[in-house]
Amino acid sequence: MSVLINKNSRVLVQGFTGSEGTFHSQEMMKYGTNIVCGVTPGKGGQVHLEKPVFNSVSEAVDACNPNVAVIFVPPRFAKSAILESINAEMDLVVCITEGIPVKDMIEVKHFLQKSQSILIGPNCPGIITPGEAKIGIMPGFIHQKGNIGVVSRSGTLTYEAVDQLTKVGLGQSTCIGIGGDPVIGTTTCDAIKMFMDDDDTKGIVLIGEIGGQMENEAAYWIKENGTKPVVGFIAGKTAPKGRKMGHAGAIVGGKDDTAIAKMNIMMDCGIHVVESPAHIGEAMKKILN
């Protein structure tokens, strides 16, 4: 079993013919992802990477019946692209785009809450179910099929955690990079709940960072409802208050936003917190043994 995507997912790529869309679509297809079509307004009727191109998501849905959309479009077009896929009732929408205005994402979030679609991102590396499908920009070669779920706000720390898990012989069920912006679709707690409900996920890695309350909310939920071991890491211990650190959402605004405060809350809620991402794999292996 997997979370959100598997080998049967039918993927549509928005921004398919652009340089980013082309490169990452090729990489996804090499991994085995079932890309069925693409969308680039004005280029409908063309064939790109041996897949049909459409002018709109609605046209693509009628012709190819995709259930997942991945978005590689510039920030100024991203809101419209996300809303177009939500309107087309995509099961899952993954937005890789960085730099989308917060105002745009507030509008998207409001619309998303009235739909059945799930949004991952924006400003994220995407999602991968090892050995089956990857949607986004994660490097597939470091992943290994297994039963550890990974949720992270940071792309590079996702890769580090996966590498540490793989090196100690622990494969992954699904890895979700939720994104580092202030307003995103899928939260840390949303992802944790999915992994807790997945029978084939036996342990969970939670990677957070300074700023916001997502990790704290997830920790409190785990304390009350968790049934599987969770290893956690928070980036940004040395970050000064009031300064963005890498991600737009990584900014300390209150006493509970700091790395130390989040780590203490997570430990109080029964999460196994590590001081370095280099310890994630060994910590999880020790817990499971």
Q: What is the CATH number of the domain that holds 163?
A: 3.40.50.261
Same domain, 70 and 39: yes
Q: What is the pLDDT of residue 250?
A: 47
Q: With respect to residue 4, please indicate whether it lies within any of the assigned structural domains.
A: no
Query: Would you say residue 245 has pLDDT above 80?
Result: no
Same domain, 250 and 109: no
Helix H or strand E encompassing 176: strand 172-177
Query: Would you say residue 251 has pLDDT above 90?
Result: no
Among the candidates 69, 91, 120, a domain finishes at 120
Catalytic residue among 143, 247, 272, 279: 247
Rounded CA separation 25/242 (Å): 38
Q: What is the pLDDT of residue 115?
A: 97
User: Contact 207/150 with Cβ under 8 angstroms?
Assistant: yes
- The conformation of residue 278, written as its DSSP 8-state character, comes to G
User: Contact 74/101 with Cβ under 8 angstroms?
Assistant: no
Same domain, 106 and 152: no
Q: What is the pLDDT of residue 211?
A: 81
Residue-range definition of the domain harbouring residue 32? 11-120
Q: What angle do CA 221, 272, 180 make, to 5 degrees?
A: 65
Q: What is the pLDDT of residue 289?
A: 86
User: Contact 219/245 with Cβ under 8 angstroms?
Assistant: no
Same domain, 96 and 209: no
The listed range with the strongest mean pLDDT (40-54, 199-213, 243-257) is 40-54
Q: What is the pLDDT of residue 256?
A: 62
User: Contact 203/149 with Cβ under 8 angstroms?
Assistant: yes
Higher-confidence position of 212 and 73? 73
Q: With respect to residue 241, please indicate whether it lies within any of the assigned structural domains.
A: yes
Q: What is the pLDDT of residue 249?
A: 47
What is the per-residue pLDDT across 115-165, written as a single tens digit (0 to 9) for each? 999 999 999 999 999 999 999 999 999 999 999 999 999 888 999 999 999
Nearest C-alpha neighbor of 143 from the set 286, 235, 5: 5
Q: With respect to residue 2, please indicate whether it lies within any of the assigned structural domains.
A: no
Confidence of residue 266 (pLDDT cuts 50, 70, 90): very high
Q: With respect to residue 59, please indicate whether it lies within any of the assigned structural domains.
A: yes
Same domain, 110 and 148: no
Mean pLDDT of 83-105: 97
Domain count along the chain: 2
Residue 65, sorted as left (phi over 0), alpha (psi -120 to 50) or beta, turns out to be: left
pTM value is 0.92
What is the rounded average pLDDT for all residues in the chain? 93
What is the per-residue pLDDT across 38-50, written as a single tens digit (0 to 9) for each? 999 999 999 999 9
Q: With respect to residue 133, please indicate whether it lies within any of the assigned structural domains.
A: no
Q: With respect to residue 236, please indicate whether it lies within any of the assigned structural domains.
A: yes
Mean pLDDT of 79-107: 97
Confidence of residue 84 (pLDDT cuts 50, 70, 90): very high
End-to-end CA, the chain = 22
Higher-confidence position of 238 and 173? 173
Helix, coil or strand: residue 52: strand
Same domain, 204 and 251: yes
Same domain, 168 and 95: no
Q: With respect to residue 128, please indicate whether it lies within any of the assigned structural domains.
A: no
**Starting from the edge strand earliest in sequence, which strands make up the sheet with 133-136, in order?**
133-136, 126-129, 172-177, 145-152, 203-209, 230-235, 272-273
| Residue 49, domain CATH | 3.40.50.720
Beta bridge partners of 259: none
Residue burial 188-207, b: 16+ Cβ < 10 Å; e: rest: bbbbbbbbbebeebbbbbbb
Strands 47-48 and 51-54: antiparallel
Let me know if 247 is a catalytic residue.
yes
Same domain, 104 and 70: yes
Q: With respect to residue 199, please indicate whether it lies within any of the assigned structural domains.
A: yes
The answer to which of 13-17, 64-68, 156-160, 241-245 has the lowest mean pLDDT is 241-245
Distances (CA, A) of 141 to 28, 162, 210, 219, 285: 12, 10, 29, 31, 21
